[in-house]
């Protein structure tokens, strides 16, 4: 297998983009990534998208996007793993380059969620859960994560204020991200006094509904200097891990433990020859504040039950010992589900290149991205290393 | 890259399976494939499905199916390329084994289309077309293929009776396939006198709405003897090709030409070191009778404009010089869209092993599968070789 580099990244301002279509936003991010890489060819495409069908009445996204990007004909693969679709598309693109099948691969993620009403968007998202045992009984994702949060608070004595600290940190980070949907700062008081969505989760514990896209360009390490002429520091993919858990929450031994994250991270760390303490900057899947807390434990950053206190104590802040979600995370940057996993890579590549201005983690050389589907039913973890 | 073998195949009787759920039918086919392979482990899953969201209110199929198959946790990837989702899942599975990332990979395809009404199913299928330029104007797939058929008849003087010959042949073949949804024979008179769906396509020119699944097990050639103990003849994947075309029909220079098929086939033939005349048994994407005709031309089996006469003259019949769709094709076997591309591989592996009884192509050693998305917006071609 060949070593693989990320040589270009592209994003766009996320939000409620009513004046742009699904294909528009994908093409905008993809062209930004191609421009950043400076390549004049793409051999193959991967597209992460959770539900073009339910959100936009549009499947067959490989064919569509290759066509509208003006790059077709070429192999174009759409990959889906609910909210981990983007991370999984990145893994599949890495695999295609690593295998030697293609050299220059464009990986994009996209979701346009505001073309439907709120009820329809909630329904579309609920199809990431177990339809028979969860969805049909009326529970949606805020409810599922509320059960995780309630169990966590019960087992470990965590408080709503500790959960809120995750939102406060991520909005502070996002206030320095020009792409963020909600770049405003919030306080613990604002979070715990915001509308209750599913007890104990307030609306400011929840990530938003977002339109957005992100894209990256991959190539073999051996081709980097030819393709980029040394224009930017090189970022190498050194670890990739992917695992599943039971899709339904009730089937797990411990509601508070993200087992797929633990396993995907173990695989990525093993491939990279690294350990949790080596990682200097991390993007995780904070679809709800409790998710970031549980995930930082499953990644091995904090002991079981200590993630909430770690967030409240500032350990995951920029400037803290283990910065998490400098981009603002899903919470502030927004969460167009299929794009999220690719946007995490965009942020980490910029961090490793030192291009993040006021949210830069000084001297970051080792980075980790964790992207999660459903209530943890699937997870993809990648480790990136800068020069 | 490693050479890859197909060591197990599994199907089930296709039809309107109202007593079984989406997960039930996937698991049934997958267990049949695992049983056929005789393996006691699976390292990774690929699942082809076009729209679990619109047909079943269920996305996140990787997590769901790994869970319900009882094989999780493990990496599980859902792949979508409209009606070519199954073929593309097979290509991705091949890539994972070829790359060395995983050894034993289960590739399944599934679609359960009868849980919704006919109008909803037609809408769900229409999301494989260009929503903005085709779907929003009210055209659905019978209309798109009717335009292809009308253009073909105009350019080449083909007749409805020649188109009907494809349906007659495929239903005859399907009458010997125990898995076929419609295993009854039809006559040219019955086809041309059946209800007109979209002029010039009658209902018996169209493939049906189907519930079904299919699965195969892959491993590196180097592990075949250890895993299977020589129980079955070995089938090797020697060529894989994938390409796109414009998603919208109006954007093509020639409505009658399936360019993605031509390009995917060229890539597969090049990889295999084979040419069209080498292939002894073929499964193609006959979603409509005109599709099989156009595809046999794009594969290089017949000259441009000669495919209709070739079908009518029996050249593609079992016993003819270029047998196509011995399984009965989509027309008779049924077309659960995400499963179709995997079911083509199931049929060809059985043909190469000599297990097809009354529909066996005698002595077949080289086989080709062609699986197409939308009106040809994406196509995957594979070449398989037996012992």
Q: What is the pLDDT of residue A79?
A: 98
Average pLDDT, chain B: 97
DSSP code, position A135: G
For testing contact with chain A, the best of B80, B124, B129, B246 (most A CBs within 10 A) = B80
**A76-121 tens-digit pLDDT:** 999 999 999 999 999 999 999 999 999 999 999 999 999 999 999 9
Answer whether residue B241 shows pLDDT above 90. yes
Are A73 and B128 an interchain contact pair (Cβ–Cβ within 8 Å)? no
Contact B288, B206 (CB under 8 A): yes
Torsion of CA A343, A344, A347, A353, to 10 degrees: -120
CA distance A191 to A197: 12
Taking residues B62-85, what's their average pLDDT?
96
Q: What is the pLDDT of residue A72?
A: 85
Answer whether residue B346 shows pLDDT above 90. yes
Contact A288, A203 (CB under 8 A): no
> Which residues, other chains included, contact A253 with Cβ-Cβ below 8 Å and sequence gap of 6+?
none
Answer whether residue A205 shows pLDDT above 90. yes
> Which residues, other chains included, contact A17 with Cβ-Cβ below 8 Å and sequence gap of 6+?
A25, A112, A114, A211, A212
Contact B197, B189 (CB under 8 A): no
pTM over 0.95: yes
- Six token digits for residue B318: 């079992």
Could you report how far apart the first and last alpha carbons of chain A are, in Å?
21
Q: What is the pLDDT of residue A191?
A: 98
Q: How confident is the model at residue B230 (pLDDT cuts 50, 70, 90)?
A: confident
Q: What is the pLDDT of residue A231?
A: 85
Residue A94 β-bridge partners: none
3-state secondary structure of B116: coil
To the nearest whole angstrom, how far is the Cα of B31 from the nearest Cα of chain A? 19
Taking residues B81-93, what's their average pLDDT?
98
Interchain contact B129–A (C-beta under 8 A): yes
Torsion over CA: B255, A61, A17, A343 (sign): negative
Answer whether residue B317 shows pLDDT above 90. yes
Contact A70, A76 (CB under 8 A): no
Answer whether residue B110 shows pLDDT above 90. yes
E strand segments, chain B: 4-10, 44-48, 76-80, 105-112, 196-198, 201-202, 211-220, 235-244, 281-283, 366-373, 378-385
Interchain contact A12–B (C-beta under 8 A): no
CA distance A27 to A31: 6
Does an H or E element contain A380, and which? Answer: strand A378-385
**Which entry of B83, B206, B287, B356 is annotated as an active-site residue?**
B83
Contact A290, A272 (CB under 8 A): no
Average pLDDT, chain A: 97
- Please say if A83 is a catalytic residue: yes
Taking residues B105-117, what's their average pLDDT?
97
Taking residues A201-215, what's their average pLDDT?
98
**B186-212 tens-digit pLDDT:** 999 999 999 999 999 999 999 999 999
CA distance B81 to A60: 5
To the nearest whole angstrom, how far is the Cα of A271 from the nearest Cα of chain B? 11
Answer whether residue A346 shows pLDDT above 90. yes
Q: How confident is the model at residue B231 (pLDDT cuts 50, 70, 90)?
A: confident
CA distance A380 to A85: 9
Are B127 and A53 an interchain contact pair (Cβ–Cβ within 8 Å)? yes
Please, which residues 320-379 of chain B have a Cβ atom closer than 8 Å to chain A?
A: 373-374, 377-378
- Checking phi first, is residue A329 left (phi over 0); if not, alpha (psi -120 to 50) or beta? left
Are A135 and B57 an interchain contact pair (Cβ–Cβ within 8 Å)? yes
Q: Domains along chain A?
A: 4-117+209-228 (3.40.47.10), 139-204+236-386 (3.40.47.10)
Of B54, B59, B82, the CB nearest to A50: B59
ipTM strictly over 0.95? Answer: yes
**A147-188 tens-digit pLDDT:** 999 999 999 999 999 999 999 999 999 999 999 999 999 999
* Full DSSP string of B25-36: HHHHHHHHHHHH
Q: What is the pLDDT of residue B72?
A: 86
What is the percentage of chain A residues whose pLDDT exceeds 90? 98
Interchain contact B58–A (C-beta under 8 A): yes
Taking residues A129-146, what's their average pLDDT?
96
Helices in chain A by DSSP H: which ranges?
Answer: 22-37, 52-56, 61-68, 85-99, 118-126, 141-156, 160-174, 188-192, 224-228, 259-272, 289-298, 307-312, 329-333, 337-353
Are B77 and A60 an interchain contact pair (Cβ–Cβ within 8 Å)? no
What is the percentage of chain A residues whose pLDDT exceeds 70? 100
**A235-247 tens-digit pLDDT:** 999 999 999 999 9
CA distance A31 to B138: 31
Q: What is the pLDDT of residue A112?
A: 98
Interchain contact A276–B (C-beta under 8 A): no
CA angle, B62 as apex, A208 and A129 as ends, to 5°?
45
Interchain contact A80–B (C-beta under 8 A): yes
B79: nearest CA in chain A?
Answer: A79
Taking residues B106-129, what's their average pLDDT?
96
């Amino acid at each position: 297998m060949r070593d693989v580099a990320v040589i270009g990244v592209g994003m766009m301002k996320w939000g409620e983009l009513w004046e742009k279509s699904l294909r528009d936003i994908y093409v905008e991010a993809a062209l930004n990534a191609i421009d950043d890489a400076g390549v004049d060819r793409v051999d193959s495409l991967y597209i992460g998208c959770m539900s073009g069908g339910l959100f936009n009445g549009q499947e067959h996204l490989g064919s569509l996007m290759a066509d509208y990007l003006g790059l077709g004909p070429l192999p174009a693969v759409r990959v889906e793993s609910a909210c981990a679709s983007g991370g999984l598309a990145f893994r599949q693109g890495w695999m295609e380059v690593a295998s030697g099948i293609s050299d220059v691969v464009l990986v994009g993620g996209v979701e346009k969620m505001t073309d439907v009403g709120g009820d329809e968007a909630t329904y579309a998202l609920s199809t990431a859960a177990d339809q028979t045992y969860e969805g049909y009984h009326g529970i949606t994702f805020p409810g599922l994560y509320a059960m995780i949060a309630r169990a966590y608070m019960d087992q470990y004595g965590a408080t709503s204020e500790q959960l809120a600290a995750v939102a406060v940190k991520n909005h502070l980070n996002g206030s320095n991200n020009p792409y963020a949907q909600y770049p405003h700062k919030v306080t613990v008081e604002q979070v715990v006094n915001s509308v209750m969505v599913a007890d104990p989760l307030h609306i400011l514990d929840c990530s938003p509904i977002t339109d957005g896209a992100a894209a990256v360009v991959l190539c073999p390490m051996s081709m980097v200097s030819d393709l980029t002429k040394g224009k930017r520091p090189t970022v190498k993919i050194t670890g990739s891990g992917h695992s599943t858990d039971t899709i339904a929450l009730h089937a797990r031994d411990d509601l508070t433990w993200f087992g797929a994250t633990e396993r995907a991270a173990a695989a990525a760390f093993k491939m990279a020859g690294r350990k949790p303490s080596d990682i200097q900057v991390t993007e995780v899947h904070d679809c709800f504040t409790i998710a970031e807390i549980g995930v930082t434990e499953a990644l091995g950053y904090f002991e079981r039950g200590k993630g909430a206190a770690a967030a409240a104590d500032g350990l995951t802040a920029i400037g803290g010992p283990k910065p998490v979600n400098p981009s603002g995370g899903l919470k502030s940057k927004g969460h167009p589900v299929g794009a999220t996993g690719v946007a995490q890579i965009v942020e980490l590549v910029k961090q490793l290149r030192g291009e993040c201005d006021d949210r830069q983690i000084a001297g970051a050389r080792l980075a980790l991205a964790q992207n999660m589907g459903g209530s943890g039913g699937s997870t993809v973890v990648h480790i990136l290393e800068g020069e």
